[in-house]
Amino acid sequence: MEIIHVSAECYPYAKVGGLADVVGTLPKYQLKLGHFVKVVIPMHRTKFLYEHEWTVEHKGGFMMGSNHFDYTIIKEKSNELDFDLYCVDIYGLLDRENVYSYDDDTERFTAFQVAVVDWISKWQHRPDVVHVHDHHTGLIPFMMKHCYAYSHLADVPTILTIHNAQYQGWMSWDNSNYIPTFDTWQWGLLDWDNMINPLACAVKCADRVSTVSPSYMEELKTNANGLEQLFKAEFFKCSGILNGIDTEVWNPEKDTYILDNYSDKDADAGKKLNKKKLCKDFNLNPNLPLFIFIGRLVGEKAADLLPQTISDSLHQIGNKMSFLILGSGDRRVEDQLTYLTGSFAGYYNSKIGYNEKLSHQMYAGADFILMPSRVEPCGLNQMYALRYGTIPMVRSTGGLKDTVIDFGEPGGYGIRFNHASVWDITYSIHRAVELYDDTEKMTALRKQVMAIDNSWEQSAEKYIALYEATQKK
């Protein structure tokens, strides 16, 4: 099959979160299964762009409202990522350093989508499947089915994967002229609550919808930021497919980002050395259990609970542990986390910002990783942690529920709690400190979690089955 993934992010070209990891990895596994895979993203001005060679694949143009835009499609020359990576450039809109958070994101991502559909419409052949990811690409199924200029793509099956339903790309109906001329009888497909809602539109128009874990799919029927009724109505074509991890990139035996490589055979010693390095760099005591948090400092991740949790734990349980936080996001949380370093020097430290290398060192050197998320569609951190022998401590939600079993349960290996509350997290830290003191149990758990297979193999096949279900016999 010829599969086209369209996304705002793709690792290692441009990464903000898990979406990039998935779009950078799933295609590799689909290639291994014998399919022909292309990934298309905006031409963000990142290091990867400047460090690689590109060929111009196509040039075109389109009207968006009263403005004409030229676009260029370029392709990475060396095929370094195995799959074909294409970038879309639109002067004045996509030539930016960051992936998101510009005032004109609506124009930027609508234009990106128009360019992608326009380009595909110029091909001599049609792909077997167009796979779109999240709301930034959510108008594509509609454009392919209902925009007059692209009506010859109407029969090409489209798949939507929802990595996060909190963000939906809402746009005012005043901007409906950004979308190429469409069959106005179909306006209802664009609408949700008197706004154009690209995510809702994709749920309505795509042939199949998937989310990144089965539990999250269930949860969307009752908690989907306003789209609950839509998920109930469209449930017949929805399914949850758990994300995998790239076991080549995330491999403690070969990881070039970490100080000391190790396997499940020498995990205790390997982790100890990596922890020593981290603790030296961040002025922490390497003899205490080390708890980490890595991620966006936003409400979804319950990052706002971290300052109080750290402070309560160190006061109530005593100085029996240390914490290291890596992340960026909400300014108030960033400031609180920075401020705390003064109060708990030697037991707590933080690094505000994005740092891929440090994140690897943290997965390798930590004993426990905290994930108290209020919403977690899949979550990759817990799977990376398992691979590095770090015990995940997660709230029972979404993909966290599907990938972590509490060590108190038969066959369990992690720590689970029910509420995103300071009390629940602190209590779990208490359990973790007790567990850490049982060195034999910790050694056994490390070995056990490192052997868990969260690779993409199985999930990649499930996506292929989903595509096959959309092919006309």
| Contacting positions for ligand ADP (CB under 6 A) | 17-19, 21, 294-296, 326-328, 354-356, 359, 378-381
Q: How far is the CB of 248 from ligand ADP (least distance, A)?
A: 14
Find the residue with minimal CB distance to ligand ADP. Answer: 18
Contacts 24+ apart (CB under 8 A), 393-398: 393/291, 393/368, 393/369, 393/417, 393/425, 393/428, 393/429, 393/432, 395/302, 395/371, 395/419, 395/420, 395/424, 397/215, 397/219, 397/373, 398/213, 398/215, 398/216, 398/219, 398/373
The residue (of 157 and 377) whose beta carbon lies closer to ligand ADP is 377
Can you tell me the distance from the alpha carbon of 427 to that of 408, in angstroms, rounded to the nearest whole number? 14
The residue (of 17 and 286) whose beta carbon lies closer to ligand ADP is 17
The residue (of 18 and 307) whose beta carbon lies closer to ligand ADP is 18
Q: How far is the CB of 410 from ligand ADP (least distance, A)?
A: 27
The residue (of 190 and 420) whose beta carbon lies closer to ligand ADP is 420
Peptide bond into 12 cis (omega under 30): yes
Q: How far is the CB of 41 from ligand ADP (least distance, A)?
A: 16
Cα distances from 32 to residues 12, 35, 41, 140, 248, in angstroms, run 19, 7, 22, 27, 14
Segment (H or E) for 195: strand 195-196
The candidate with the shortest Cα–Cα distance to 351, out of 300, 391, 425, 295, is: 295
User: What are the structure tokens assigned to 122, written together?
Assistant: 């110029």
The residue (of 8 and 203) whose beta carbon lies closer to ligand ADP is 8
Q: How many helices (H) and strands (E) does the chain have?
A: 17, 17
Indicate if the alpha-carbon torsion angle 22, 28, 34, 35 is positive or negative.
positive
The residue (of 38 and 301) whose beta carbon lies closer to ligand ADP is 301
Strand order across the beta sheet in which 348-352 lies: 348-352, 322-329, 290-297, 368-371, 391-395, 415-417
Q: How far is the CB of 165 from ligand ADP (least distance, A)?
A: 12
- Could you tell me if 294 and 362 are in contact, meaning their C-beta atoms sit under 8 angstroms apart? yes
The residue (of 120 and 385) whose beta carbon lies closer to ligand ADP is 385
Q: How far is the CB of 151 from ligand ADP (least distance, A)?
A: 35
Q: How far is the CB of 427 from ligand ADP (least distance, A)?
A: 23
Q: How far is the CB of 34 from ligand ADP (least distance, A)?
A: 28
Q: How far is the CB of 103 from ligand ADP (least distance, A)?
A: 22
Cβ-Cβ contacts under 8 Å for 149 (sequence gap 6 or more): 118, 121, 180, 181
Q: How far is the CB of 250 from ligand ADP (least distance, A)?
A: 9
Cα distances from 57 to residues 10, 37, 71, 80, 128, in angstroms, run 19, 16, 11, 17, 20
- Could you tell me if 446 and 392 are in contact, meaning their C-beta atoms sit under 8 angstroms apart? no
Can you tell me the distance from the alpha carbon of 286 to that of 278, in angstroms, rounded to the nearest whole number? 8
Q: How far is the CB of 59 from ligand ADP (least distance, A)?
A: 33
The residue (of 170 and 354) whose beta carbon lies closer to ligand ADP is 354
Q: How far is the CB of 257 from ligand ADP (least distance, A)?
A: 11
Strand order across the beta sheet in which 129-133 lies: 54-64, 67-76, 84-89, 36-42, 2-6, 129-133, 158-162, 208-211, 238-240
The residue (of 284 and 297) whose beta carbon lies closer to ligand ADP is 297
User: What are the structure tokens assigned to 373, written together?
Assistant: 């998320």
Cβ-Cβ contacts under 8 Å for 223 (sequence gap 6 or more): 375
Can you tell me the distance from the alpha carbon of 408 to that of 394, in angstroms, rounded to the nearest whole number? 14
Q: How far is the CB of 356 from ligand ADP (least distance, A)?
A: 5
The percent helix, strand, coil of the chain (3-state, each to 5) is 45, 20, 35
The residue (of 35 and 133) whose beta carbon lies closer to ligand ADP is 133
User: What are the structure tokens assigned to 105, written together?
Assistant: 């994101």
The residue (of 186 and 355) whose beta carbon lies closer to ligand ADP is 355
The residue (of 380 and 435) whose beta carbon lies closer to ligand ADP is 380
